[in-house]
Amino acid sequence: MPRLTADRHHRVRFTLNGRPVEGDAEPRMLLTDFLRHVLGQTGTHVGCEHGVCGACTVEIDGAPARACLMLAVQADGMTLRTVEGLAPEPGRLSVLQDAFRRHHALQCGFCTPGILMSLDIYLRGHASPTEAEVRDFLSGHLCRCTGYVPVVAAALDAAAKLREAAGDA
Amino acid sequence: MKPARFDYVRAETLAEAHAVLASEGGDAIVIAGGQSLVPLLSMRMARPGVLVDIMHVADLGGIVIKDDAIRVGATVRQAQLLAWPELAAHQPLLALALPFIGHAQTRARGTVCGSAALADPSAEIPLALVALGGEIELSAAAGKRQLAAKEFFNGLMSTSRNDDELIEAVHFPRTRPGDGYAFIEFARRHGDFAIVACAAMADAQGVRLAVGGVADFPTARDFGPLDGAALDEAIEDFAFDLEARDDLHANAAYRRELVRQLGRKTIDEARRCRV
Ligand SMILES: Cc1cc2nc3c(=O)[nH]c(=O)nc-3n(C[C@@H](O)[C@H](O)[C@H](O)COP(=O)(O)OP(=O)(O)OC[C@H]3O[C@@H](n4cnc5c(N)ncnc54)[C@H](O)[C@@H]3O)c2cc1C
Ligand code: FES
Ligand code: FES
């Protein structure tokens, strides 16, 4: 592959929430800044910018990842999902989002996009998690408002609703 | 909190990665999972001229069972090794220690070899390599070599890897019938770097304890068949020999006390786990 030089912008293309997107980035541009400033997708939040808080968590090739710990050029060719891709249609929340609303699992909402992305991925692979497993998984996210109790309740509730839906199908 | 400028090369072959590392001297560095390097770039504690992304090199992947070891290639992520169904059967210590590395969200991207390359004194993978007597497989355009873990880790976040070398794989010795393992880590919160981490391995000959988070790099000592008060005394000597220092997280005396208490507990548990 050719060398992407430091002083130029380079074309970056990937799939975002099912659609092909592209934009220009210097090699040093973080994926968070590319999503927010180049693509205008501001649902992904930026807290600590060094991997600790989890606010910037997105899905990359099926797994959760800190967008602030990735360069935009690294994401070239990959498949990404962000919080903008969770709702099935405008005006309708996903099962997980709806559980967050009902359980008051967000207050200021700063941490919420990252937590939603993490849990959305987790519940796909773990249909019946225990409370302890959810808490262990949530250790990768900081929330200064909720005290986590409603977040855990929402996650367990969403898991139950998703199991029901799968059983009906 | 934004990185300084650098060039980026996404290597597609091992030869390409070797060539860039060889031609730039120390100015080119590898990026693997990026979970430690990107924060260092953002804080400008690392200012390389070129980043060589090795994650798209096909022949650097794979978990391979060898005669007496598990070979883990450079692009294997921590989550991938942890999810490997045969992990506990081939090396129980890894199954015990890997869940303590950061969080699911960082393990999904961070690599096993990247952790060895970083050589953080508190990190679980370097500790497991030292405890088990593992090996590090290095390669460069000029050739390959394989080093024992205790020769590889040689200082605070420092290893005997040359600038033109990359870690191609690490080798974790496989468990043998009758071996027992235990791992105990103390940190402020789950997912934080360890203040003290202990790994113990017991077999018919005796027991070995390896400690992370205290000295500049993980350190192991064999205690043979020692038990009771004699073992406590020997661990006490070990705790002092590690030359703990004070820092923001804990003072030296506290770290020594953790080594005494947790070290003994880890050894006892490894002995109980012998079958
Ligand atoms: C919130 C958070 C918590 C964490 N907690 C822990 C923890 O508890 N324990 C722990 O051990 N780690 C922890 N880490 C760090 C861990 O996640 C990293 O994955 C690991 O330290 C580095 O692996 P990497 O693949 O991400 O390497 P990178 O970040 O890509 O690289 C790290 C360094 O290694 C070099 N390097 C990488 N791969 C190679 C190679 N194959 N050959 C030569 N050089 C190479 C790079 O040049 C760089 O200098 C944490 C990280 C975060 C963000
Ligand atoms: S902004 Fe990425 S983890 Fe905090
Ligand atoms: S809702 Fe405010 S930080 Fe979580």
Which CATH number do you get for residue A52?
3.10.20.30
Q: How many domains does chain A have?
A: 2
The pLDDT > 90 percentage for chain B reads 94
**pLDDT value at A168 more than 80:** no
Q: Do the Cβ atoms of B266 and B200 come closer than 8 Å?
A: yes
CA atoms within 13 A on the CB side of B229: 0
**pLDDT value at A142 more than 80:** yes
Domain C-terminal end among A40, A62, A85: A85
In a domain, A3, yes or no: no
Claim to verify: residue A42 and residue A79 sit in the same structural domain: yes
Calpha distance B113→B260 (Å, rounded): 30
Give the position of tokens 């990252």: A114
Q: Which of B38, B55, B105 sits opposite A57 (nearest CB)?
A: B105
Binary contact (A1, B38; C-beta < 8 A): no
In a domain, A99, yes or no: yes
Neighbours of B23 (CB within 10 A): 12
Residues of B in contact with A80 (CB under 8 A): none
A27 touching B, CB under 8 A? yes
Q: Are strands B180-186 and B196-202 parallel, antiparallel or unpaired?
A: antiparallel
Claim to verify: residue A113 and residue A70 sit in the same structural domain: no
User: What phi and psi values does residue A89 have, to the nearest 5 degrees?
Assistant: -160, 160
pLDDT of residue A169: 59
ipTM: 0.96
For chain B, which domains are there? Answer: 1-175 (3.30.465.10), 180-272 (3.30.390.50)
Domain C-terminal end among A62, A85, A108: A85
In a domain, A81, yes or no: yes
In a domain, A79, yes or no: yes
Residues 6+ apart with CB under 8 A from B264: B231, B232, B235
Claim to verify: residue A116 and residue A157 sit in the same structural domain: yes
Q: Which of B35, B53, B190 sits opposite A51 (nearest CB)?
A: B35
> How many residues can be counted in chain B?
275
> Crossing angle, helix A112-125 and helix A149-168, to 10 degrees?
40
Please tell me which residue of chain A has the smallest CA distance to B39: A50
> Crossing angle, helix A95-102 and helix A112-125, to 10 degrees?
130
Residues of A in contact with B3 (CB under 8 A): 28, 30
Considering every ligand atom shown, identify the ligand nearest to the alpha carbon of residue A111 and give its number. Answer: 3
Residues 6+ apart with CB under 8 A from B194: B100, B122, B124, B185, B186, B187, B212, B213
Residues with CB under 6 A from ligand 1: A 51-52; B 29-37, 74, 101-102, 106, 110-111, 113-115, 117-118, 120, 123-124, 166-167, 191, 193
Please list the ranges in chain B whose pLDDT falls under 50. none
Claim to verify: residue A77 and residue A107 sit in the same structural domain: no
In a domain, A30, yes or no: yes
Distances (CA, A) of B91 to A89, B170, B179: 47, 14, 10
Claim to verify: residue A104 and residue A161 sit in the same structural domain: yes
Claim to verify: residue A30 and residue A48 sit in the same structural domain: yes
Q: Do the Cβ atoms of B72 and B79 come closer than 8 Å?
A: no
Claim to verify: residue A74 and residue A128 sit in the same structural domain: no
pLDDT of residue B275: 62
In a domain, A124, yes or no: yes
Q: Is residue A167 very low, low, confident or very high in pLDDT (cuts 50, 70, 90)?
A: confident
Binary contact (B35, A73; C-beta < 8 A): no
Residue type, B8: Y
In a domain, A4, yes or no: no
Distance A142 CA to ligand 3 centre (A): 8
Distance A8 CA to ligand 2 centre (A): 26
Claim to verify: residue A114 and residue A63 sit in the same structural domain: no
Calpha distance B183→B92 (Å, rounded): 10
A161: helix, strand or coil: helix
Claim to verify: residue A30 and residue A80 sit in the same structural domain: yes
* Alpha carbon of A19: minimum distance to chain B alpha carbons (Å): 23
Sheet holding B135-140, edge to edge: B63-65, B69-73, B166-173, B135-140, B143-148
Q: Is residue A132 very low, low, confident or very high in pLDDT (cuts 50, 70, 90)?
A: very high
Residue A120 sits in a domain whose CATH number is: 1.10.150.120
Distance B269 CA to ligand 1 centre (A): 29
Calpha distance A17→A15 (Å, rounded): 7
Biggest CA-to-CA distance, chain B: 58
Which tokens is B178 given? 């009758």
**pLDDT value at A1 more than 80:** no
> What are the pLDDT digits (tens) for B217-233?
999 999 999 999 999 99
> What are the pLDDT digits (tens) for A60-108?
999 999 999 999 999 999 999 999 999 999 999 999 999 999 999 999 9
Distance B31 CA to ligand 2 centre (A): 19
In a domain, A1, yes or no: no
Q: Which of B5, B10, B104 sits opposite A140 (nearest CB)?
A: B104
Exposed / middle / buried, residue B106 (Cβ in 10 Å: 0-12, 13-18, 19+): buried
Burial A63-82, CB ≥16 within 10 A → b, else e: bbbbbbbbbbbbbbeeebbb
Claim to verify: residue A31 and residue A69 sit in the same structural domain: yes
Domain C-terminal end among A85, A111, A127: A85
Binary contact (A30, B3; C-beta < 8 A): yes
A3 touching B, CB under 8 A? yes
Claim to verify: residue A55 and residue A102 sit in the same structural domain: no
B238: helix, strand or coil: helix
Claim to verify: residue A34 and residue A79 sit in the same structural domain: yes
The DSSP result for B89-119, as a single string, is HH-HHHHHHGGGSS-HHHHTT-BHHHHHHHT
Identify the domain containing residue A33 by its residue range.
10-85
The DSSP result for A85-97, as a single string, is GTSSBTTB--HHH
> What are the pLDDT digits (tens) for A11-64?
999 999 999 999 999 999 999 999 999 999 999 999 999 999 999 999 999 999
- Closest residue by Cα to residue B31 from B74, B79, B78: B74
